[in-house]
Amino acid sequence: MDLRRFGFTSTESRVYVALLRISPATGYAVAREAGLARANTYTALERLAARGIAARLPGRPGRYLAVDPAAVTGRLDREWRRDLDALAEQLAAVNRRGAGLAPPPHEFLADRTTLLDRVAACARSAREELLGVVGPWAAEIFADLTRSTGSRATVRILSLGTPAPQGAQLRQASTQEISTYWGGLPLAVASDRRMAVLGLLADNGGASGIVTGHAAEVPFIRHLLRRELASPAGQRIS
């Protein structure tokens, strides 16, 4: 298992995986399990402990404990989101200092990954208001849809089924009903008064959508989303 793309060195990756197998363990035992030199293993263990990914236990001989994987992935998620938020702000500042050109009024989307990326980016950019209609077919971006809850942005999301984003209104409907009515599985978000993303996911994995910053379209989309959110729905997801 290679964890290098998540900020681990090759040695740290092998040490953490080995520690998961035999934790708690001495550095010697971890080195033997990982097939590494003891000096390199101890250095990696100390680095992992400094990052909160391993814990050094009291007593002699010194032993190390692997932090629970769920806690580790949660930490990595927070670190990556913090770094990405900082990068987004830096890039936005560079863009404001540039030519000052407005983004193209339309961007057409033709695949699932790009559509979900644009919906997530639109949601993360909300500073005042985020409106959205989603469903369980987009569960991988639920965290992006709800992350503005801790800021000053007002977040109102309608989910057409479960699982659903935290805090969303819920309206239960079968996937078949929804797909028949819409011609696909819908996604729609509007961020503040400046951007909206609309799309449909197909049963075969395809997708189509549009990103718009058009001054005439975004207010109209916001109006439609507000009406949809005001219509009767089921319970709120806590």
* pLDDT on residue 102: 53
Domain boundary (84, 101, 118) is at: 101
Assign 197 to helix, strand or coil. Answer: strand
Residue reference for tokens 């927070």: 78
Residue type, 111: D
CA neighbor of 85 nearest in space, from 139, 144, 43 = 144
Average pLDDT for 214-236: 86
In a domain, 238, yes or no: no
162 Cβ contact list (under 8 Å, min separation 6): 136, 170, 172, 237
From CA 38, how far away is CA 40, in angstroms rounded? 5
Q: How many domains does the structure of the chain reveal?
A: 3
**Beta-bridge partner residues of 236:** 169
The whole-number average pLDDT for the span 201-219 is 90
The average pLDDT across 114-128 equals: 88
Whether residues 171 and 226 fall in one domain: yes
- What CATH number does residue 9 fall under? 1.10.10.10
pLDDT in tens, 167-203: 899 998 888 899 888 899 999 999 988 899 999 999 7
Distance, in Å, from the CA atom of 65 to the CA atom of 76, rounded to the nearest integer, reads 18
Which pLDDT score is estimated for 233? 66
For residues 178 and 73, state if they share a domain: no
Residue 238 has pLDDT above 60, yes or no: no
The pLDDT tens digits of the residues spanning 137-161 come to: 999 999 888 875 445 789 999 999 9
Three-point CA angle 135, 138, 139, nearest 5°: 95
Q: What pTM was estimated for this model as a whole?
A: 0.63
Q: Flag whether 237 is in a domain.
A: no
Write the pLDDT tens digit of every residue in 72-111: 888 888 788 778 777 877 776 776 554 445 556 789 999 9
Same domain, 219 and 111: yes
Q: Give the pair of three-digit tokens for residue 112.
A: 């699932």
Q: Which domain holds residue 80?
A: 68-101
- Residue 213 CA to residue 228 CA, distance in Å, equals 21
Q: Which of 53, 80, 101 is the last residue of a domain?
A: 101
Rounded CA gap, 194 and 117, in Å?
Answer: 18
* 46 in a structural domain: yes
Query: Quick one: 92 and 124 in the same domain?
Result: no
Residue 26 has pLDDT above 60, yes or no: yes
